Structure 1
Amino acid sequence: MNRNNRTPDQLATDIIAGDRIRRSDDLSLFLTAPLEELQEGAGRLQRHFCGKHIDFCTIINGRSGRCGENCKYCAQAACHHTGIDEYGFLPKEEIIRNARANQEAGANRFAIVTSGRALTGRDFDKAIETYKEMKRTLTIDLCASHGLLTREQLHRLHEAGVTSYHHNIETSRRFFPQICTSHTYDDRIRTIKMAQEEGFCVCSGGIIGMGETWEDRLDMALSLQELGIESIPINALMPIPGTGMEGRPQLPAEDILRTIAFFRYINPTANIRLAAGRKLLPQNGATAFETGASASITGNMLTTSGTTIKEDMQMLKDLGLTNKDEDCTAATGTCGAH
């Protein structure tokens, strides 16, 4: 069969058999196929490569505001006036208390996220001390999101017990200069590759709804595939007053669901992770968990608009899914690898 003349079901079958989407393929199917057909194929791929497992991560905003970068979507950029709380690196005890509560609630991993181009100096030392203490006293997997770090800093994080590093590419290479000019797309790629070389599972995705085209979204999915990214958060822009994205219309649920579906086709073994904008989806993302999304940020935070871990655990139970490795039938892919 012509590679460029397949139905969503045929394409899913070929991917399960070992085929992979390439840039040279005709990708128009992802934009023209009926959404239900595309979702059915994405669901088959998810069940094959990820089983019934859904990975839940939680985050804490470890340092807020005063960022010197000019990312148009970000409430924490100093060039924007959003009225957010501004504070330095949180006390170790407060972070560990949050991590322990998330662990006890059943989350799979916990991340400290900090504002700024990169976490440096005494704040970075505080983060290392905090990660070491969490590694010593907790069992939850640890993730970090601290910007454009050096190779030495990434090594220190890894030694401290961090297993995953989060660093979004945000969008396509073509569109990136439209949302940020204080650093480059290549700066982000360089950090991702260094994190991978250090041995981290890298979590990297982006934001849709910033004015990019469908082709930009497809390009982002392919770039993440080419980088070998294992965890891909998909954020739907929630336009924040005071940012450069203020007033942009929110994406319809159908656009978000289509994006999730074709990200699954292009990155079949990765965790496709629901992030910001999840409340825009039917049943708070329940349908997405059966049609491509195998992970989510959870907890009472901005990106999930107040979805509690308890509510998400009940949702999984209702859907016949699990976030516990011991309860999950073996999957054949690498979803959830860390």
Structure 2
Amino acid sequence: MKNLILEVAERILSGGNIKMEEALELINIDENNTEVLKALFEGANSIRKKFAGNKADLCTILNTKSGKCSEDCKFCAQSIHYKTGVDEYELLDYNKILERAKEMEQEGAHRFSLVTSGKRISGKDFNKIVDIYKRLNRDTNLKLCASHGIISYEQAVKLKEVGVSMYHHNIEACKDYYSKICTTHTYEDRIKTIENLLNAELEICCGGIIGMGEGNTERIKMAFEIKSLGVKSIPLNVLNPVEGTPLENRIPLSPNEILKTMALFRYIIPDCYLRYAGGRMALKEKQNIGFKAGVNAALVGNYLTTIGNKIVDDKRMIICEGFEI
């Protein structure tokens, strides 16, 4: 197995690609085989250094509208289909949003994203969010990102006009597994939104969630599907089972399973920002190892419905692993 790792890593470093069957073989490495895992991680790290350098990208999000989502995504605390006790509120006041943005900017975040619950944003809410981005672009030096569900090409163009540079829209799971986690919209609906964003010439942040009951094959398929979209910012979430959702009893993935998956994403998409996102607390004391196994970006601060690491702690960890912030 170590010979395969070395062969694949060398091929990628020389400008080639990993094959699907090779990725499937590598992701099935026994998580307790520390010697082989070490070789896999070292290969991912060398690929990251060559194709993405030593700069780490930090982003933060603000849950700007919470709860009452019409969709039945089985992992989500904000769905109206499940009783999770999540806070519910309409669009936040601009002054609250600006206060949070300034705080994140001062703490060293590069990007700031507004996130709203719901299948899509439209009408008065969309007009309000456009105005908010326009004002944030004027009042901060942050790169502005957006995450508002399914949007049209026309909406994407308007967001770009007021200073949004990147739109976040996960595929969540591979095409073959998607219907098992959501039935109120389709995988194709998500791809259509990504096509609208590409046509509007917005950068795209697109990843997914692991640990929802999918197998290793589905995780590798998701990575190749994301690669086919040309995405360069890839947030990998780890399921944090929420009480009241259909996935509440899922056993969390082990740290080595998480790290192994992230390393394979680096082999598959060598030049991306591979981003720690929600649920990385499952790594426990091994969070720093990801930065030696292909990861080079992080969602920092508090997340949508969970508490994340303190930004100062993340920065210290990342710098200790040899990255520039």
The TM-score normalised by the length of structure 1 is: 0.91
Distance 1:286 1:24, change over 3 A: closer
Distance 1:55 1:280, change over 3 A: same
How many Å separate the matches in 2 of 1:79 and 1:233? 26
Task: State the partner residue of 1:227.
Answer: 229
Q: Does 1:29 align with 2:31?
A: no
CA contact (8 A) 2:8 2:18 kept: no
Which stretch shows the higher mean deviation, 92-101 or 295-304? 295-304
How many Å separate the matches in 2 of 1:25 and 1:46? 19
Secondary structure of the 1:260 match is: helix
Amino acid in structure 2 at the alignment position of 1:240:
V
Task: State the partner residue of 1:105.
Answer: 107
1:141-199: CA deviations, max 9, x gaps? 01000000011101100101000000000011111000000000000011011111211
How many Å separate the matches in 1 of 2:174 and 2:298? 22
Distance 1:24 1:75, change over 3 A: same
**Could you tell me which of 244, 255, 273 is aligned with 1:271?**
273
How many Å separate the matches in 2 of 1:6 and 1:175? 32
Secondary structure of the 2:64 match is: strand
How many Å separate the matches in 2 of 1:281 and 1:76? 24
Which stretch shows the higher mean deviation, 63-72 or 9-18? 9-18
CA contact (8 A) 2:237 2:277 kept: yes
Task: State the partner residue of 1:19.
Answer: 16
Amino acid in structure 1 at the alignment position of 2:6:
D
**Could you tell me which of 75, 78, 91 is aligned with 1:76?**
78
Amino acid in structure 2 at the alignment position of 1:21:
I
CA contact (8 A) 1:301 1:307 kept: no
Task: State the partner residue of 1:251.
Answer: 253
How many Å separate the matches in 2 of 1:275 and 1:217? 16
Secondary structure of the 2:291 match is: helix
The TM-score normalised by the length of structure 2 is: 0.94
How many residue pairs get matched?
320
1:204-219 equivalence runs, <5 A: 204-219=206-221
Task: State the partner residue of 1:45.
Answer: 47
**Could you tell me which of 314, 317, 320 is aligned with 2:319?**
317
| Cα deviation, residue 319, structure 1 | 2.1
1:1-338 equivalence runs, <5 A: 7-23=4-20, 27-32=24-29, 34-283=36-285, 285-302=287-304, 305-323=307-325
CA contact (8 A) 1:49 1:268 kept: yes
How many Å separate the matches in 2 of 1:304 and 1:82? 13
1:191-227: CA deviations, max 9, x gaps? 0111112111111111111111110000000000111
RMSD: 1.7
Amino acid in structure 2 at the alignment position of 1:322:
E
How many Å separate the matches in 1 of 2:53 and 2:216? 29
How many Å separate the matches in 2 of 1:25 and 1:310? 38
| Cα deviation, residue 22, structure 1 | 4.0
How many Å separate the matches in 1 of 2:280 and 2:13? 28
Secondary structure of the 2:244 match is: coil
| Cα deviation, residue 318, structure 1 | 2.1
CA contact (8 A) 2:77 2:305 kept: no
Distance 1:101 1:21, change over 3 A: same
How many Å separate the matches in 1 of 2:171 and 2:143? 23
Give structure 1 stretches of 5+ with no counterpart: 324-338
Amino acid in structure 1 at the alignment position of 2:14:
A
Task: State the partner residue of 1:335.
Answer: none
Counting aligned pairs with the same residue, the percent is 41
How many Å separate the matches in 2 of 1:217 and 1:23? 11
Secondary structure of the 1:272 match is: strand
Secondary structure of the 1:27 match is: helix
How many Å separate the matches in 1 of 2:247 and 2:119? 20
| Cα deviation, residue 23, structure 1 | 3.9
Give structure 2 stretches of 5+ with no counterpart: 31-35
CA contact (8 A) 1:55 1:294 kept: yes
How many Å separate the matches in 1 of 2:319 and 2:56? 11
Which stretch shows the higher mean deviation, 196-205 or 55-64? 196-205
| Cα deviation, residue 302, structure 1 | 5.0
